[in-house]
């Protein structure tokens, strides 16, 4: 049997977008007879062949359940699954693999923290602070918790550029604040939040911080220890991995005092009808058979990113973003939404007086995939006085030619709908 294709060689190379494009088979597709230009990466990224092959290999050769079988397949599957956990630990700079919990995605990660840490340590009259930039997934789980325990949700405002107002944050937090939930990068506007500064302010008041890193992990080099984040979570599918797998990082001292999330197999060390002893970290939070192939695929996706060199990726994506912003400024009818100086991966805009869905429909007929709508951030749209925006979001396989195709098609859109 051939060696599992789970470990990609880390050979730093020149970042060649054309070569990278070839690693993603789906990008060869034609949409309505036009070459696909995929600019909806903040929704989900495409998958490199290495990830697809790893999943394929796992189901063809090693499929079995983990942490229990004495047989060879189970041993190999367990090794691959736990190997993926170690890759993730290294990728985000966590201290120990026991701090890495596999979940379905960022959404489940936030719900996990709300229903374990939140239910135990947040009570009636306490306050939870979030920001105006949040995705619904970092709003609704806290609203549910607030209803359950009688806590109150407070919101950090933004300015018209889409940047957080740090001075207001300082006024909002107080002795009743028991937790802060904050995004690292805004999915709708691309704003990079000054996380280190915010976490420092929160920690001065002993407030633990939960970071939604779903939009940051694909674009920024993240080190959870440097940030001093208490919890950091992200989805695999936004960082070139499969859907249905995501990660919660939590500081060990927090994870240890938290009750389990779900009950079942794998999260126990012994069960009697009188009492159950829970398993050690991280297994205490992983009830039931996990998405083994997904975890392995995510590990390979992170390997793939490492072969491209994360810093080069960030530089290249910034170059693309600047190029697109420059092109936008040349188009009189195009209004950029969100002018944060620090931004990653995303440009939100509106074209003339046209509705985003109409623009999205016309672009689709030109083979260009963008997101049109409220981006699961309805409170943010309301704050900006908008119903919807068009959003283009970049990944490492996008090129300047993609940007050119976009702007050509936007001109056509004006002709069709103008």
Interface with another protein (CB under 8 A): 353-358, 361-362, 365, 372-374, 378, 381, 387-388, 416-417
Minimum CB distance to another protein, residue 176 (Å): 34
Q: Which residues of 43-192 form beta strands (DSSP E)?
A: 100-103, 127-131, 152-156, 177-183
The verdict on whether 376 is a catalytic residue reads yes
Q: Which residues pair with 373 in a beta bridge?
A: 389
The CA distance from 251 to 253, in Å, is 6
The CA distance from 343 to 349, in Å, is 14
Q: Are 396 and 238 in contact (CB under 8 A)?
A: no
> What is the SS3 assignment for 11?
coil
- State the residue for tokens 């208490």: 230
Strand 37-38 to 371-373 pairing: unpaired
Q: Which residues of 207-340 form beta strands (DSSP E)?
A: 209-212, 231-235, 246-250, 268-271, 276-278, 334-337
Minimum CB distance to another protein, residue 387 (Å): 5
Residues with Cβ within 8 Å of 31's Cβ and at least 6 positions away in sequence, in order, are: 364, 367, 369
Minimum CB distance to another protein, residue 272 (Å): 46
Q: Which is nearer to another protein, 221 or 383 (CB)?
A: 383
Helical pair 49-57 and 292-308, crossing angle rounded to 10 deg? 150
Q: Which is nearer to another protein, 248 or 362 (CB)?
A: 362
Minimum CB distance to another protein, residue 414 (Å): 12
Minimum CB distance to another protein, residue 372 (Å): 8
Dihedral in degrees, nearest 10, Cα atoms 26, 28, 30, 36: 70
Minimum CB distance to another protein, residue 28 (Å): 22
Dihedral in degrees, nearest 10, Cα atoms 293, 26, 375, 373: -150
Which of 340, 327, 314 lies closest to 406 in space, CA to CA? 327
Catalytic residue among 158, 372, 376, 390: 376
Q: Which is nearer to another protein, 325 or 386 (CB)?
A: 386
The CA distance from 121 to 395, in Å, is 39
The CA distance from 89 to 250, in Å, is 11
The CA distance from 287 to 268, in Å, is 8
Minimum CB distance to another protein, residue 389 (Å): 11
Q: Are 235 and 105 in contact (CB under 8 A)?
A: yes
- Using CA atoms, how far residue 94 sits from 87, 101, 250, in Å, is 10, 12, 9
Which of 310, 312, 325 lies closest to 403 in space, CA to CA? 325
Minimum CB distance to another protein, residue 225 (Å): 40
Dihedral in degrees, nearest 10, Cα atoms 83, 88, 89, 94: -170
Active-site positions read 376
């Amino acid at each position: 049997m051939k060696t599992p294709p789970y470990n990609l060689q880390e050979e730093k190379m020149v970042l060649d977008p054309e070569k990278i494009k070839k690693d993603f088979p789906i990008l060869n597709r034609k949409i309505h007879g036009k070459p696909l230009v995929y600019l909806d990466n903040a929704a989900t990224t495409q998958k490199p062949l290495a990830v697809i092959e790893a999943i394929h290999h796992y189901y063809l050769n090693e499929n079995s359940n983990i942490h229990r079988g004495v047989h060879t397949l189970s041993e190999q599957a367990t090794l691959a699954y736990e190997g993926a956990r170690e890759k993730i630990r290294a990728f985000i700079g966590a201290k120990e693999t026991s701090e890495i919990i596999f979940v379905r995605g960022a959404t489940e990660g936030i719900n996990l923290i709300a229903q374990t840490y939140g239910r135990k340590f947040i009570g009636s009259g306490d306050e939870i602070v979030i920001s105006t930039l949040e995705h619904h997934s970092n709003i609704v789980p806290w609203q549910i918790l607030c209803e359950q325990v009688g806590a109150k949700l407070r919101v950090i405002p933004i300015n018209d550029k889409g940047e957080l107002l740090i001075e207001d944050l300082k006024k909002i937090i107080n002795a009743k604040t028991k937790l802060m939930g904050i995004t690292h990068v805004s999915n709708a506007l691309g704003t990079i939040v000054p996380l280190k500064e915010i976490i420092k302010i929160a920690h001065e008041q002993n407030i633990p911080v939960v970071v939604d890193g779903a939009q940051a992990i694909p674009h920024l080099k993240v080190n959870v220890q440097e940030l001093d984040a208490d919890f950091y979570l992200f989805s695999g599918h936004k960082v070139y991995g499969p859907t249905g797998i995501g990660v919660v990082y939590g500081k060990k001292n927090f994870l240890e005092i938290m009750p389990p999330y779900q009950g079942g197999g794998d999260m126990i060390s012994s069960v009697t009808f009188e009492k159950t002893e829970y398993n050690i970290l991280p297994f205490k939070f992983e009830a039931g058979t996990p998405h083994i192939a997904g975890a392995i695929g995510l590990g390979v996706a992170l390997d793939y990113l490492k072969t491209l060199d994360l810093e080069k990726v960030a530089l290249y994506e910034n170059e693309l973003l600047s190029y697109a912003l420059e092109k936008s400024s040349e188009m009189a009818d195009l209004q950029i939404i969100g002018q944060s100086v620090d931004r990653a991966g995303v440009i939100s805009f509106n074209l003339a007086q046209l509705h985003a869905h109409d623009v999205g429909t016309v672009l689709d007929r030109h083979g260009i995939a963008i997101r049109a709508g409220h981006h699961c951030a309805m409170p943010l749209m309301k704050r900006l006085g908008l119903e919807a925006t068009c959003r283009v979001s970049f990944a490492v396989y996008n090129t300047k030619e993609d940007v050119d195709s976009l702007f050509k098609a936007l001109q056509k859109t004006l002709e069709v709908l103008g």
